Structure 1
Amino acid sequence: MMPVPPAQVQEAPTPREVAFDGFNRFPLKGTVQPAEGGSWFAVLVGDSGPLDRDWSQPRLPAHTGRALAHWLRDQGVGSLRFDKRIAGSRDPKLNASLDAQSGDILAALAAARALPEARNRRILLVGHGEGALLSLLAAREADALLLLAMPSQPMGKALAEQVALQLHASQAAPNRAYLDAVLQAIRSGRPAPAPGPDVLPPLVRLAKGLMAPETLDFVRDTLDLDPWAMVARVAVPVAVAWGGKDIQTWKPAQIPAAFRGTVLDLPDANHVFRREPGARSELDGARALEGYRDERPLADLSPISAWIRTLK
């Protein structure tokens, strides 16, 4: 009897490093993840903060961008993911404006179209959180948009709602008043207000981050951007996906009638689209962050896969 040869294990396509010029020729670096077959190539844009190409930062070493790129590869979708210009930077003179960061996305789209791995493929722009909002500004250069955990209201309103949900009744009045004062100071260009004795330390830290000099202009420019007004102007196919276990950004109770795209529900997904076994009602900030780490597998993303297959 002839011996049966061992099954051939097909190796995943090898990623490679690339560099390209961002807005105003700012040097950007990224990773290209090739994929076999398929007719789409994705550009991945991370959420808020100084994220690298893998959507990781020192205080929370998770790599969901890399995991998502590998998942897309398995769906036949190659990708380019890149370090944000503010990743690892402590330069207060760095241009982190809305024009610069949205311009970097436009540059990444142009770089992707020139890649051999994207030849004869259409470009899918995938934005997560704040990256979804910024991707709407670059939608004209993509062939389709996938918006993950898109803010369902302007950032100022969302911050006020998130803070209100985490306050006990006895804490609400002084802390909400302080946040309102901070947001108004940002809008008007005034100095940060002094916190009163009843203002919680996490809220003081939030205010300090919002008013950091290196990103203050960006926060001011994005604070009142309406994502639904922006998505209504998108001319290419668009899907918005929310996780059912996300306590940062969630699906609104009512989708605006003007939205003509696709809504994708992922019931077991947290904010970074990893699987969350606990009930949403049991999650607080600390417990939610535990679910963002690499040990937690991605959620069931089959609704996204099914939507990609509908694209023509």
Structure 2
Amino acid sequence: MSGIIKLILTTVITLFSLNTHSLESEMIVNVNVDSGVLEGTFLKAENSNTVALIISGSGPTDRNGNNPSMINNSLKMVAEELKQAGISSLRYDKRGVGASANAGLVEENLRFEHYINDAKKWLTFLNSQNGFEHITVIGHSEGALIGMIVAQSSIVDSFVSIAGAGQSADKIIQKQLTSQPASVSEPSIAILEKLVHGKIVDNVPPSLGVLFRPSVQPYLISWFRYDPLKEFKKLKKPLLILQGDTDIQVSVEQAKLLHGVNRQADLKIIEGMNHVLKEAPLDKSRNIQTYNDPKKPVMPEVFSEISQFLKENA
């Protein structure tokens, strides 16, 4: 065999081996849904028998916890730190977001159930993977509501809620509206009441169009149907509630509401942690600064609490 051919073959074998090793520890994976293809990142920890499905929060939030107006990499950090603790994970871009953009629906056709069914698809994928004895679901913010619904499946062994609300979305929005002028809060609450009862509101004041435009109302109606307390109460498996006490979006009281309906859950309040899982004060402007700081680490208590919970319940 000539030296050149031997060099070429050695190089090809080396490249293939490196690529295979890379794919075994971090893979880009896909599942087909009704409207297209969803993409996710599968991190496989060495000698891992536990895998977590990580579900991101509301809006155009991607697999890493980022959206077009902020980059904090919070969920990416969670996945990477869990890997170091021996826990594999899969996190994904929701339909219409990031690499799953082509699977998005026109706004008037989107329903909350689409997100639920997509998460179930990913669970089916994880269940098909060899070597995992324990599947957990980790949901952040709105992803916690999706998570507690799909975690009712028999293939899910445990569930972790991070910054999950204890009230339905309409009640949270209504509470937020109380701080607005009467000219905003009164017509908004009237619209909310109709949406809760499944009624479309045609004559929305232009000033309220951002929140209640007709095209988004079907999604809101579908979202408002789900009561986190009812869904969380149904779970009869190991549960962990994580909540930061400087979260200016979801309060500690919301976590306590969840714990109140399902006392078998472990409730852990992390001092100084905000909504994007980073250390921050209650001061709003300084708190929000962390939402766009990808170098600021997620608080270590997040990883330690989750890994300890999973080790105790695997």
In the superposition, the TM-score normalised over structure 2's length comes to 0.80
1-structure distance, mates of 2:211, 2:286? 22
Question: Counterpart of 1:182?
Answer: 191
CA drift of 1:115 comes to 2.9
Question: Counterpart of 1:18?
Answer: 29
1-structure distance, mates of 2:262, 2:49? 29
Residue 262 in structure 1 maps to residue 273 in structure 2: no
Question: Counterpart of 2:298?
Answer: 298
Question: Counterpart of 1:234?
Answer: 235
Could you say which structure has the higher helix fraction?
2
Contact 2:58 2:141 in 1 (8 A): yes
Residue 249 in structure 1 maps to residue 250 in structure 2: yes
CA distances 1:129-163 after superposition (whole Å, capped 9, x unpaired): 11110112211141110011111211111112233
CA drift of 1:212 comes to 6.0
The structure-2 alpha-carbon separation of the partners of 1:268 and 1:100, relative to structure 1 and needing over 3 Å to count, comes to same
Question: Counterpart of 1:145?
Answer: 159
1-structure distance, mates of 2:60, 2:307? 28
CA distances 1:60-98 after superposition (whole Å, capped 9, x unpaired): 233222111111112211111111002154752685312
CA drift of 1:51 comes to 2.1
Percent of aligned pairs with the same residue?
A: 21
CA drift of 1:290 comes to 1.4
Q: State which of 117, 120, 124 in structure 2 corresponds to 1:110.
A: 124
CA distances 1:146-202 after superposition (whole Å, capped 9, x unpaired): 0111112111111122333x54xxx3x32321320331343321125316xxxxx7x
2-structure distance, mates of 1:291, 1:161? 25
Residue 45 in structure 1 maps to residue 44 in structure 2: no
Superposition pairs of residues 1-312 of structure 1, within 5 angstroms: 14-22=25-33, 24=34, 26-88=36-98, 89=101, 91-92=105-106, 95-116=109-130, 119-139=131-151, 140=153, 141-164=155-178, 166-167=179-180, 171=181, 173-187=182-196, 188-194=199-205, 204=208, 208-211=210-213, 213=215, 215-252=216-253, 255-276=259-280, 278=281, 280=282, 282-283=283-284, 286-293=285-292, 294-301=294-301, 302-312=304-314
Count of aligned pairs between the two proteins? 279
Contact 1:182 1:192 in 2 (8 A): no
Kindly provide the amino acid, as one letter, of the partner of residue 114 in structure 2.
A
Match of 2:296, SS?
coil
The structure-2 alpha-carbon separation of the partners of 1:162 and 1:130, relative to structure 1 and needing over 3 Å to count, comes to same
Contact 2:204 2:213 in 1 (8 A): no
List gaps (5 residues or longer) in structure 2.
Answer: 1-20
2-structure distance, mates of 1:44, 1:192? 39
Q: Which runs of 4+ in 1 moved over 4 A?
A: 88-91
The structure-2 alpha-carbon separation of the partners of 1:247 and 1:93, relative to structure 1 and needing over 3 Å to count, comes to closer
2-structure distance, mates of 1:153, 1:106? 23
Kindly provide the amino acid, as one letter, of the partner of residue 135 in structure 1.
G
Contact 1:32 1:79 in 2 (8 A): yes
The structure-2 alpha-carbon separation of the partners of 1:190 and 1:127, relative to structure 1 and needing over 3 Å to count, comes to same
Kindly provide the amino acid, as one letter, of the partner of residue 174 in structure 2.
A
The structure-2 alpha-carbon separation of the partners of 1:95 and 1:235, relative to structure 1 and needing over 3 Å to count, comes to farther
The structure-2 alpha-carbon separation of the partners of 1:245 and 1:212, relative to structure 1 and needing over 3 Å to count, comes to farther
CA drift of 1:289 comes to 2.6
In the superposition, the TM-score normalised over structure 1's length comes to 0.81
Contact 1:232 1:260 in 2 (8 A): no
